[in-house]
Amino acid sequence: MRQRKVPMRKCVASNEMKPKKDMVRVVRDKEGTVSLDPTGKQNGRGAYISLDPELVKKAQSKQMLNQALNAKVEDTFYEELLEYVEYQKARMELKNG
């Protein structure tokens, strides 16, 4: 059986290429609303960030998602993103542990 190709995406905070499943997509729709996209299939401009709380904090301090999505990203969204990333990271550790 052939090995499947793993889709890779670049993290906006670290500029590293990583497997898509190890990242979370943030999307800006036509109305300019920024939201989490756990499915990775929502319409709109997307940016990926690694499941690492330190990188989320770095992205917040340097306003990296504003530039990547060409939109104003509120601090409340970064807090929501941080909670989501910490939750997903804990899930991955339980699954792999």
Phi, psi of 93 (to 5 degrees): -65, -40
| Entry pTM | 0.89
CATH architecture of 8-96: 2-Layer Sandwich (3.30)
Which tokens in the block code for residue 28?
Answer: 């800006």
- Domain locations along the chain: 8-96
CB distance 12 to 49 below 8 Å? yes
pLDDT in tens, 17-70: 999 999 999 999 999 999 999 999 999 999 999 999 999 999 999 999 999 999
- Report the relative pairing of strands 8-10 and 17-19 from DSSP bridges: antiparallel
